[in-house]
Structure 1
Amino acid sequence: MATRHLYLARHGEADAFGELTDVGHRQTGLLGERLARLPVVAVWHSPLPRAAASARVIGEHLPDVPVVEAAELVDHVPYIPAATDMPPAWAGFFDGFDDAERASGERLAAALVDRFAKPAETETHEVLVTHAFQVAWLLRHALDAPPARWLGLNSGNTALTAIEYRDGLPPTVVLFNDMGHLPQDLRWTGFPPSALP
């Protein structure tokens, strides 16, 4: 088995209808420029329009690299902790989720991990354009943290998280939420106001 290098990115800034804003287009273009220096073999993206559009912009900077939809990257709540396992501030977020939604989210989260969070047969560099919850879930998994720990792991729009998977070793988190490709005026979108520096 060889190393799988996963580069996770939340989609660019989007409007209330899920379409990329001008800022989102600029963010994804700059991320594409950054990723163009790597031997990327595929850009996978969520089926949702904001992620698909982001992946297409990134793909413009990666000639001959396939840009492909992956259903496992769709935006969803991966795990709903028991009330005793979550901070009280999060309790209201999960109001209205029923057992069917809980089970569906857990199935999708398991499929995401099963497909991408493992070593590859050959050395590979893949980009996953997805959503904040999926970046948090894969990071939580790589750190072998309890399932509820995905909560509060916020990702900025087009912030880069890199994880390496090698056979016989735990995953290595190389980067989390790196915005080095973005100028100051394009950083920190997608975060709750309380997280801004």
Structure 2
Amino acid sequence: MAHKFIDIEYLLQGNPKQKMAYDVIKKLKVMEILKKHGPILAGTIPIDIDIDSSDLDIICEVHHPEEFIHRLNSEFGDLLNFSLETLWIDGKITVLCSFVADGLTLEIFGQPTKSMDQNAYRHMVVENRILEILGNTAKEEIRGLKREGYKTEPAFGVYLNIVENPYEFLLSMYDWDYNQFLEYLKDRRVSI
């Protein structure tokens, strides 16, 4: 189930913003350009809980930041609002690149961790599992919390009454099976 997010073709079956995201990514050849880095579209757009300000988050496995930075500069450096920075996140050197194309902001995130093992991917998979169980009402309420200013994981934390750190707690759910999700969610805010 988690592997459905590896190839962006699923976006073609989605809502208008997902189809627009697909078109922008294809037009810019982002996945082809970054192929050796295992790019995955993560975040709220793939799981249909985006709001107007949501961007396209593309996560990548990067072990040679200088080479990655050079590629990003040469391929996307001329695009609107291009920015690039290197920082440390969770003790890992991280490259963050941002630019705008066809009205959508794209953020490319590179860390020396397999894309499927990065927190952004794991959060998205867990959030998708939750939404598949709880349905459209949950999606609308999560979107509402995001419109109020909550980031995605804290919005899930509020919606599900998670008292722990929502970032860490959602990550801890990654290896749960379907029955564990059902058991946990039956005592949460929404009846299933």
Q: Same fold (TM over 0.5)?
A: no
**Aligning the two structures, in what range does the TM-score lie when normalised by the shorter sequence?**
under 0.3
Q: Name the structure, 1 or 2, with higher relative contact order (CA <8 Å, separation 6+).
A: 1
Structure with more of its chain in helix, by fraction: 2
